[in-house]
A and B are shown apart, each in its own frame.
Chain A
């Protein structure tokens, strides 16, 4: 799978003999990579399908789109000694401005002093995926992509910091606990606006147990940002409070409400999640189930959950599967009771009221999401390092922050049948 470039002692000279194994004082550098060439198609007008909310564009109706799932990753790994190694991985994929990167996904130094602990420092990824710590390596997944309804919303999964893992044999498997934290990396593209998460703090932990047939994972994470995205809305609410309290309007209830909402708009936002996943493989049969609970404590407070399941059965090189995923997230704050019209004496302030109404509506709905997907597909392993996948998804959404309208905004009700084809490979 990897092209091994050995530096130092190559003790064996024949064509088919083994290269030297790494030992103290001998570096072993490996260059490897992965990629996907993918295409999607659907016929739902005014709808763009995105794999994740960090993508600027999505696949639009009646057009074959090669940008949603296509990606290329290159990785360099250096085994400096039995205890020390370094790794860097860059991935090219469609980003929030339509650019293709490359983006540095991993870049760390790893220290493994013994078999029950390890520490990594550098650019890392939060450990929330059952199929590995990455949403970019499609070859590792049975399906074309990780559940877009669920994982497509968690794009701020990179951070610059450290993680520490300890493991212990338990029964016929291994129990592992990981603690991680650092400075958040990632971005979100919603309603035509970029939200850069750089500078926020990430903290989390995972606990998993891996046995011969069964694997189980619990994950918890927090991202805390001091990015103030509500300065304009706060100023508008304070202006409305002053206006409402003036003798011209004398609506003291509205003044109090607007002032209270302005005070509640926090300058600190927190995204918290808690997830559980289970995998079971026996012979040709495999089952994966996951669920996550999410809370966003920026104002308004959003709460929601996501879940997914994939059932597959391998028959030689073929692996047919079915999948289901669902995610719901909604604002849990009451609406702002804005007046429909102002008195004629205050007509000049109607644009302020109109702007507030639009801004408030966008704030309340910006992250709202209620979408589910039923998928059927097949994976065919063409070779030891290459797989072809064909998948049909029926996506239904009451509202979606993953799908986009043609104007780039969060969508209302949508129902589409998405056809996907990918060629995944590793080298």
Chain B
């Protein structure tokens, strides 16, 4: 296991050295959303398609930002993006649920969240908009 461990450590260093890895990620909703906050566990269930409602009964529409997916899932659930993609293939092609909406960048995600009070998305903390509210912070 020494060789794979070394490679994983090297990979972690490479990721940590990238500018993106140093940034905080946040999960956002509309500033007037019925959703006040999310726990990491709740976010995991929502972004992995296991639930679509919060305990309060609020419906949640999940939005992914393509360039941030790898970093987001590594921070949220500690999984490689290839595992997440295989996981979604499992769900999608057995009719359980469909993958979340995916957009190209934080601006597009913010636009969706501003328009849909039930939507949540993840963006970089630096791209926060006053029209949105932070539900969960995922720091480096």
Contacts and interface: CB of A to CB of B under 8 A. Distances in A.
B94 A125 contact: yes
B111 A18 contact: yes
Given A16-B103, A79-B98, A172-B41, A137 B90 contact: yes
B115 A11 contact: yes
A274 B52 CA distance: 31
Nearest to B11: A316
30 contacts: A1-B88, A1-B89, A12-B111, A12-B115, A16-B107, A17-B103, A18-B109, A21-B112, A21-B119, A77-B95, A82-B59, A106-B94, A112-B52, A115-B51, A131-B90, A132-B90, A132-B91, A133-B95, A133-B96, A134-B94, A137-B89, A141-B86, A212-B77, A313-B4, A315-B8, A316-B80, A319-B82, A381-B82, A387-B82, A426-B92
Interface in B1-44: 1, 4, 7-8, 11, 41, 44
Which of A4, A115, A134, A141: most chain B Cβ within 10 A? Answer: A115
Interface in B51-65: 51-53, 59, 61, 63
Contacts of A11: 115
Given A19-B101, A314-B82, A384-B81, A115 B89 contact: no
B45 interface: yes
Given A77-B95, A284-B8, 9 more contacts: A21-B119, A30-B98, A120-B95, A133-B95, A134-B93, A137-B89, A174-B50, A319-B82, A426-B89
B129 interface: no
Nearest to A28: B98
Given A1-B99, A11-B115, A18 B89 contact: no
B95 A283 contact: no
A281 B51 contact: no
Contacts of B91: 132
Given A174-B45, A316-B7, A110 B98 contact: no
A239 B91 CA distance: 55
Contacts of B99: 1-2
A35 to B, nearest CB: 11
B78 A315 contact: no
B89 A140 contact: yes
Interface in A59-82: 73, 75, 77, 79, 82
Given A120-B95, A284-B8, A317 B90 contact: no
Interface string A221-255: 00000000000000000000000000000000000
Nearest to A23: B116
A89 B98 CA distance: 13
Contact of A34 (B45, B81, B89): B89
